[in-house]
Amino acid sequence: MFDDMLFQNVVDGIFSAAFLASMLRVTTPILLPSLGALISDRAGVINIGLEGTMLASAFTGVVFSAKATEWISPAISDPMLPWVGLLMGVLVGLLMALLLAFFHLQLKANLILSGIALNILGSSATVAIMYELTGDRGNTKGNLASFKMPFVQLPEFLADIPILSFFFKIFDNQSVMTWIAFFSVAFVWWFMYRTPVGTHLRAVGENPDAAASVGIRVQRIRYLALLMSGVFAGLGGIHMSMGYLAFFQKDMTSGRGFIALATPYLGGGNPIGTGFASLIFGFFDAISTRIGSLEIPSQLPQMVPFVATVMALVIYALQSQLTSRVRTLRSAEGEEFDVNFWGSIRRLSVLHMFLAMLAIIGIIIAVSMFSAPDGFKGAGENLSTGKVVSHGVAIALVSLALIVINLPFMLNVERIGHWRWWYSAGASVLSLWIYLSVFFILFLIAIDGQGVEMADTLIIVLGLALGLISGALIWLRLGGQYLTHNHHLAAVAAA
Amino acid sequence: MKLNSRLLSSRIVLLIVSLALGLVVMFAVTSRMFDGSLDTMKDTPDYTSVLLVNGLIAGSVVLFVLELRMDAVRVVLTVIVALLFGYLVTAIFNLDSAQRFTRGEFKVSLASDAAVPDVEDMDIQYGRARAGDFNNDDQPEPLEEDRYRFAGSEGDEITILAFAARANVEVDLQVALLDADGNELAKSTEVTQEQIDAYKPDLKSTKDAAITNYTLPADGLYTIHVKPEDLSQSQIIKEMLSKTRVAYEAFLLGPVDRVLRWSFWIQDALTLILLGLSIAIVFRAEQFSLGAEGQLYFGALVSGVIVLSFGDVPKTLLVPIALLSAGTAGFLWGLLPGALKAYLGANELVSTLMLNTIATRFYEMVLTFQLQPPDAGYTASDWFPSSGQLTPIVEGTQVTIAVYVVIAVVILTWLLIRRTPIGYEIRMIGANIKFADYGGINTKRTIMLAMAISGIVAGLAGAHLGMGIHRKLILNISIGLAFEGVVVALLARNNPLVVPFAGLLYAYLRTGARFMESDANVSFEVVRIIQSIIILLITAQALVTIFRRRRIRRRGTLDLDLEAGANGGLPPSLPAEEGAHV
């Protein structure tokens, strides 16, 4: 069934340590500005200028790592140069954020429009200065000998321990920026939930007037939030130009600063969730390069992260609609309101939306297969049109089925309480089952490694079984059990 | 009654001032284009159309002054401040322009009628020359100065010339003659006109150096020491300023140099006016949608596909159909984020930015895999058939009948916002969405429609790019034009009648920047830096408040009539706007 080389290659690719490592790598420049967006958003002053800030920092980092010996002091040793670049880059990120903060908080300029101005400034000033410094408008390759940030090597003995070796392959030789990014998640969480300033910051974002009335200095907190977002955007920019590449390219962030605005929404407004949301985008980003190795229009996989972002926005919007709906109900129904019930519904609705997102990505992949100019060709082996069509149709059908199952859920998310419990149980488990069994089947093929003649049926049965079990488990864990037993407690059901 | 007459007289004064300004602008542009001579003008084909367009420019100036009143001063001031900032940036970029005097290929020649002393291993001897290249960055170790030893006898009359190797090398040389102990015997930093005449063709300018007819005091070894002259501070600044002046002259006067350059300005302005109108509509409803970019791509794509597939249809039918479908495509692509925002509350800024990228990729895909002719060397569609191109109204340029389309769109947008129920609802929502909701307006529907209607105009802008300017579909047909539209809408304070002036003004800067890049080698991006400054300054409300407070303090009262347009907010709040027209 899956005996062609190409599919094998793609599957192997996706379930390999190398793929996961590359996923971490492309997640980093989304995660860092996302944390910046999160902090500024939670303080009620969302920083739209992340993209321009990233560009400015990326460029400054490259320039200073290449020119520090000339401009600052010839005594700086080579290993120190990228750190000088990092420092200057972050400094410029801070300055850009300060500009935005000054114009918005002091001069009362519109936050969104000043953010747009910051983006234009970042994108134009970098190109203009690059042109002056190097005479090149495109990139600094060959003109500025810049440095990469160091890579973190893990101790070698880990590679010999059976299970750890897989993780060793993922985490070994990652840029220090990737480590900084993931430690930043922990830092931001600690900052936001365990420090007084962080609490004030959330209070300011929730209700600035109330915060001011209890003596919190709103203006100062907002300055801090914007400056912190500038620092994180700066770090993200540094990773773009000094993490795995060692040059600056015109507009090299290509929309990551904008995607970063959407991840906190998907992540439910907390750092951990934002981290996971960024990983999702990293996954789509990495998979789009992976699909890109097949000969299909490169534009289709490139669309995937952006489609995913729009979907994420919709998920978040539905979630917040649900929240406001619940709030209204709470005030209308008084004490009878059941928090756990609504929590379950909320988590389930996110699950459904996420599955729909995957389904739409699946359809895009299927369409990509059909619109391949020279058939579905790759990995050195020509595939027959029949196989292309069968794979494409399979993916599209699975995806369509998922959408059809989940559609009522997505459209009527606030009315779940009206439904019979078995519908929500059925929809959740069924759609999870479909996706997880596909996932497990592919995974089993991948670890089997040798084509699949010997145990096609066994693998498929095993995959389906694993999918069913984990689908049911996840549904129960997300509150499905609670929903089935207690739906009569719900305020809506009572009304 | 007294108030009325005061109002009337101030209106009349305003009208006269605006008409005068419009005429001045029209006259200045026209005379600059034709070098101030009527004969040149009459020799130009279609000069009546040129005059017509210039008349429209004058009209836009009149509308700008009439609609914005005192606020017009602020807009102009903002642009001037931003231009000054741009001047500074350009000057900083030109700091190194004096460096050209310290680099370049040079030659040193040594001449004498005396016999060559018989000494081995000399760098140079009588009748010979040496060449070098100062401060060439391409070399691993740039040459900063050079020394040549030669042997001479007492009484030899020698002439040393140090000069630039070619006429276009501007290196400023100095040369010195040293004796064997390193003492300086003679030095020259520049040459006189007589010397230039005497030593043609070697000496070319006074920047060269020459030690002529020098008699050696003793037998022995001598050294010629040649290096570029040190730059003085004043020289650096002088060079910087003169280069900046050249650049800014190209920037500020370039677009009206001649008819062809003028046409680049006008065609760019037409696109920007359409985009500015599109952005103004959504900003009026306080929706920060930047979807114009994606709508533009879809408009260009749909109109392009229609024109390419139905080339046989007569022009009078094909062009309107293509324009209408471009508008429809934009409408639909605007409906999507509109619905997401209105019914789901999805952040319109992020969603439109994402949809823009999706639209761009889609456009690229269709262009690369469907429209590109197989033998094309680069990614572009075929030329549009002539029936699918907008007819030029000035021969040899891309200034097309799009001028009339744009006028119509401006008027329609004004009617829509000012004279229709939906426009009223859009303004109400922009002023106070909660109030609008309580007042019974279907805010969700209106928000969605506002974003979709703005899509129509952006789609038309795409069609203009394809059918009017490029006459085929190309990759990157718009690079961030929606952001330029934001500047236009901001400059126009979201007023459709002021958008033409703002579009013309901003297109003027953009076109000027292109000529600055080609004429003076200053990066085009300077204009985008100016753009960001304009946005920052014009949205900074506190600046207005400061000015207004000062004026109130001076006058003692707030002159409501003149202040009406100058509420500084974005978009202008409704009561003040209404006040201006009641």
- Residues B375-391 pLDDT 10s: 777 788 888 998 888 88
**Chain A: residue nearest B339 by CA?**
A314
A337 or B548, which is more confident?
Answer: B548
Quick check: B354 and A262 CB within 8 A?
Answer: yes
In this prediction, residue A495 has a pLDDT band, given cuts at 50, 70 and 90, of very low
Give the Å distances, CA to CA, from B37 to B30, B31, B43, B253: 10, 7, 10, 18
End-to-end CA distance of chain B: 16
Question: By the CB < 8 Å criterion, does B99 face chain A?
Answer: no
Contact A40, A101 (CB under 8 A): no
In this prediction, residue A430 has a pLDDT band, given cuts at 50, 70 and 90, of confident
In this prediction, residue A198 has a pLDDT band, given cuts at 50, 70 and 90, of very high
Quick check: B358 and A303 CB within 8 A?
Answer: yes
Following CA atoms B554, B558, B564, B570 in sequence, which dihedral angle do they give, to the nearest 10 degrees? 70
- Which residues of B are less than 8 Å from A121 in CB distance? 528-529, 532
pLDDT digits (tens, 9 = 90+) for B264-305: 999 999 999 999 999 999 999 888 888 999 999 999 999 999
> What angle, rounded to 10 degrees, do the helices at B259-284 and B2-33 form?
140
Substitution target in B138, B243, B533, B536 with the highest count of A β-carbons within 10 Å is B536
Smallest CA–CA distance, residue B139 to chain A, in Å, is 13
In this prediction, residue B523 has a pLDDT band, given cuts at 50, 70 and 90, of confident
Q: How far apart are CA A357 and CA A353, in angstroms?
A: 6
In this prediction, residue A200 has a pLDDT band, given cuts at 50, 70 and 90, of very high
The structure tokens listed for B86 are: 């741009």
- At residue A110, φ and ψ (nearest 5 deg) are -60, 130
Q: What is the mean pLDDT of chain A?
A: 79
Q: Per-residue pLDDT for A449 more than 60?
A: no
| Percentage of chain A modeled with pLDDT above 90 | 27
Smallest CA–CA distance, residue A410 to chain B, in Å, is 11
- For the segment B404-421, the average pLDDT, to the nearest whole number, is 93
Give the Å distances, CA to CA, from A308 to A165, A302, A304, A311, A359: 32, 11, 6, 5, 10
Contact B300, B330 (CB under 8 A): no
Q: How would you class B248 by CB atoms within 10 Å of its CB: exposed for 0-12, middle for 13-18, buried for 19 or more?
A: buried
- For the segment B348-360, the average pLDDT, to the nearest whole number, is 89
Contact B127, B563 (CB under 8 A): no
Contact B111, B157 (CB under 8 A): no
- For the segment A253-274, the average pLDDT, to the nearest whole number, is 84
Contact B63, B492 (CB under 8 A): no
Q: Per-residue pLDDT for A98 more than 90?
A: yes
Q: Per-residue pLDDT for A350 more than 50?
A: yes
| Percentage of chain B modeled with pLDDT above 90 | 27
pLDDT of residue B410: 95
pLDDT digits (tens, 9 = 90+) for B197-248: 888 777 877 788 888 888 888 888 888 888 888 777 888 888 888 888 888 8
Bond into B571 cis (ω within 30): yes
Q: Per-residue pLDDT for B427 more than 50?
A: yes
End-to-end CA distance of chain A: 52
The sheet that has B220-228: what strands, in order across it? Answer: B146-152, B220-228, B173-178, B184-188
Contact A305, A25 (CB under 8 A): no
User: Taking the domain A1-293, which CATH number applies?
Assistant: 1.10.3470
Q: Per-residue pLDDT for B322 more than 90?
A: yes
- For the segment A323-335, the average pLDDT, to the nearest whole number, is 65
pLDDT digits (tens, 9 = 90+) for B17-37: 889 999 998 888 888 888 877
Quick check: B523 and A320 CB within 8 A?
Answer: no
Lowest-confidence pick of A269-283, A442-456, B201-215, B527-541: A442-456
Contact B150, B125 (CB under 8 A): yes
Q: B210 has which bridge partners?
A: B161
Tell me the three state secondary structure of residue B397: coil
Following CA atoms A322, A324, A329, A332 in sequence, which dihedral angle do they give, to the nearest 10 degrees? -170
Quick check: A299 and B362 CB within 8 A?
Answer: yes
Q: Per-residue pLDDT for B166 more than 70?
A: yes
Q: How far apart are CA B400 and CA B468, in angstroms?
A: 7
Nearest to A309 among B350, B369, B528 (CB): B350
Q: How far apart are CA B270 and CA B268, in angstroms?
A: 5
pLDDT digits (tens, 9 = 90+) for B62-107: 999 988 888 888 888 889 999 999 898 888 888 777 777 777 788 8
pLDDT of residue B99: 74
- For the segment B154-183, the average pLDDT, to the nearest whole number, is 82
Q: Per-residue pLDDT for A74 more than 70?
A: yes
The structure tokens listed for B34 are: 């034709």
- Which residues of A are less than 8 Å from B535 in CB distance? 113-114, 116-117, 120
The structure tokens listed for B433 are: 């969405």
Q: How far apart are CA B468 and CA B399, in angstroms?
A: 8
Smallest CA–CA distance, residue A249 to chain B, in Å, is 15
- For the segment B314-330, the average pLDDT, to the nearest whole number, is 93
Q: Going by C-beta distance under 8 Å and a sequence separation of 6 or more, which residues neighbour residue A257? A: A33, A49, A50, A51, A52, A53, A54, A119, A233, A236
Lowest-confidence pick of A286-295, B162-171, B564-573: B564-573
Q: Per-residue pLDDT for A372 more than 70?
A: no
pLDDT digits (tens, 9 = 90+) for B465-492: 999 999 989 988 888 888 889 889 988 9
Question: If phi over 0 gives left and psi between -120 and 50 gives alpha, with beta otherwise, what is residue A148?
Answer: beta
Nearest to A103 among B368, B480, B540 (CB): B540
Q: What is the mean pLDDT of chain B?
A: 84
pLDDT of residue B573: 38
- For the segment A453-459, the average pLDDT, to the nearest whole number, is 68
Q: Per-residue pLDDT for A149 more than 60?
A: yes
B322 or A403, which is more confident?
Answer: B322
Distance of CA A237 to the CA centre of its chain: 16
Q: Per-residue pLDDT for A337 more than 70?
A: no
The structure tokens listed for B261 are: 């350059």
Q: Per-residue pLDDT for B428 more than 80?
A: yes
At B386, the amino acid letter reads S
The domain ranges of chain A are: 1-293, 303-495
pLDDT digits (tens, 9 = 90+) for B113-131: 877 777 777 788 788 888 8
Tell me the three state secondary structure of residue B207: coil
Nearest to B526 among A128, A318, A371 (CB): A128
Question: By the CB < 8 Å criterion, does B442 face chain A?
Answer: no
Q: Going by C-beta distance under 8 Å and a sequence separation of 6 or more, which residues neighbour residue B409? A: B274, B277, B457, B460
In this prediction, residue A38 has a pLDDT band, given cuts at 50, 70 and 90, of very high
pLDDT of residue A196: 93
The structure tokens listed for B268 are: 């760019």
Q: Per-residue pLDDT for A330 more than 70?
A: no
pLDDT of residue A348: 73
Question: Which runs of E-coded beta strand occur in A354-431?
Answer: none
| Percentage of chain B modeled with pLDDT above 70 | 94
pLDDT digits (tens, 9 = 90+) for A284-322: 778 777 666 566 677 777 787 788 778 777 777 777 777
Q: Per-residue pLDDT for B321 more than 90?
A: yes
pLDDT of residue B579: 35
**Chain B: residue nearest A306 by CA?**
B354
**Chain B: residue nearest A374 by CA?**
B369
Q: How would you class B532 by CB atoms within 10 Å of its CB: exposed for 0-12, middle for 13-18, buried for 19 or more?
A: buried
Lowest-confidence pick of A104-118, A156-170, B499-513: A156-170
Cβ atoms within 10 A of the Cβ of B538, count? 26
Distance of CA A17 to the CA centre of its chain: 19
Q: Per-residue pLDDT for A165 more than 80?
A: no
Question: By the CB < 8 Å criterion, does B93 face chain A?
Answer: yes
Quick check: B369 and A103 CB within 8 A?
Answer: no
pLDDT of residue A384: 54
